[in-house]
């Protein structure tokens, strides 16, 4: 089985080219691939499959995209969307000669996402219009309760804009969320405004643990710092793995940042 490895602000992924939809990945296989000691290592798996070969219904215009991003969390669970993953997915399509020229449309379980390569090599993805669902709370590993804004960016987030540095919060285990607010679980971001238009963020991702970055979480953090979806704003968001920029307006959110392919190879049987 061929693979590639890539990352966006150190949110890293095992990429599996499967244009004809021949792979039937189990949760255990995904978890073993993502194991950082016994496998390749990654925050998740991106399966690169033609939408026509997918074998499952897609919505939100995704059926019109040639390529579909089948994203799995590191524990093997299926996720609706991944902002850094879409950028890395698009970078792989370009790297492998599967796309070229103008904007690329990528199908996801949250709908179609338009991706463009900037002159400096960064990749910008149209993340759609985030949905603010109200206030929420989480209890962190050390017992501290944090409160924030529930935001859907195609997947569920609790983005907590707080009044002290993000390094001091305990994200060593999954935060406890109210099942009534997050029936399918959620991602939790701790966020601090560190200057005009600048945020620091850490994140605990559902199904993957604390990661070095999370693209949808970066968008959720920007929405929470702005106070609403659809209000024009631009935010630089710094995460442990680097920095992305979020542009918000009435049409939605655009996420800009780096995406690189670092290796290719073949997984040994078993």
Q: Are 222 and 193 in contact (CB under 8 A)?
A: no
pLDDT at 197: 97
**Residue 255 — very low, low, confident or very high, per pLDDT cuts 50/70/90?**
very high
Of 163, 128, 167, 149, nearest to 221 by C-alpha is 149
pLDDT at 22: 95
Four-point Cα dihedral 45, 51, 56, 62, nearest 10 = 90
Question: What is the rounded average pLDDT for all residues in the chain?
Answer: 96
Q: Over pLDDT 90: what percentage of the chain? A: 91
pLDDT in tens, 82-127: 999 999 999 999 999 999 878 999 999 999 999 999 999 999 999 9
Residue spans of alpha helices (H) in 7-114? 27-34, 83-95
| Cα angle for residues 149, 154, 160 (degrees, 5° grid) | 20
The yes-or-no verdict on residue 4 having pLDDT over 80 is yes
Q: What is the mean pLDDT of residues 184-194?
A: 97
Q: Record the tokens describing residue 183, joined without a space.
A: 């029936």
Residue spans of alpha helices (H) in 80-181? 83-95
Bridge-based pairing state of the strands 67-73 and 104-108: parallel
Q: Over pLDDT 70: what percentage of the chain? A: 100
**Residue 58 — very low, low, confident or very high, per pLDDT cuts 50/70/90?**
confident
Q: Would you name the residues annotated as active-site residues?
A: 82, 214
Instruction: Give CA–CA dist 60/113, Å, rounded.
Output: 9
pLDDT at 63: 85
Instruction: Give CA–CA dist 268/270, Å, rounded.
Output: 6
Across the strands, what pairs with 149? 135, 159
Angle between helices 83-95 and 215-226 (to 10 degrees): 140
**Residue 62 — very low, low, confident or very high, per pLDDT cuts 50/70/90?**
confident
């Amino acid at each position: 089985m061929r693979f590639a490895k890539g990352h966006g602000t150190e949110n890293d992924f095992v990429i599996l080219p499967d244009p004809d939809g021949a792979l039937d990945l189990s949760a255990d296989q995904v978890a073993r691939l993502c194991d950082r000691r016994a496998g390749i290592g990654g925050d998740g798996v991106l399966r690169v499959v033609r939408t026509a070969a997918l074998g499952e219904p897609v919505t939100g215009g995704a059926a019109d995209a040639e390529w579909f991003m089948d994203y799995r969390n590191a524990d093997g669970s299926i996720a609706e969307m991944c902002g850094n993953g879409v950028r890395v997915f698009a970078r792989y399509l370009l790297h492998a000669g599967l796309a070229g020229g103008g904007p690329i449309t990528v199908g996801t379980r949250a709908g179609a996402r338009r991706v463009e390569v900037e002159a400096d090599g960064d990749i910008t993805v149209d993340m759609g219009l985030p949905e603010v669902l109200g206030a929420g709370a989480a209890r962190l590993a050390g017992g501290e309760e944090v409160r924030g804004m529930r935001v859907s960016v195609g997947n569920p987030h609790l983005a907590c804009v707080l009044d002290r540095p993000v390094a001091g919060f305990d994200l060593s285990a999954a935060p406890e969320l109210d099942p009534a607010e997050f029936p399918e679980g959620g991602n939790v971001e701790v966020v601090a405004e560190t200057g005009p238009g600048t945020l620091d963020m850490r994140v605990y991702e559902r199904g993957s643990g604390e990661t070095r970055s999370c693209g949808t979480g970066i968008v959720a953090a920007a929405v929470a710092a702005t106070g609403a979806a659809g209000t024009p704003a631009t935010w630089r968001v710094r995460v442990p793995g680097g920095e992305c920029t979020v542009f918000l307006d009435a049409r939605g959110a655009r996420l800009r940042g780096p995406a690189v392919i670092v290796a290719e190879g073949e997984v040994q049987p078993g």
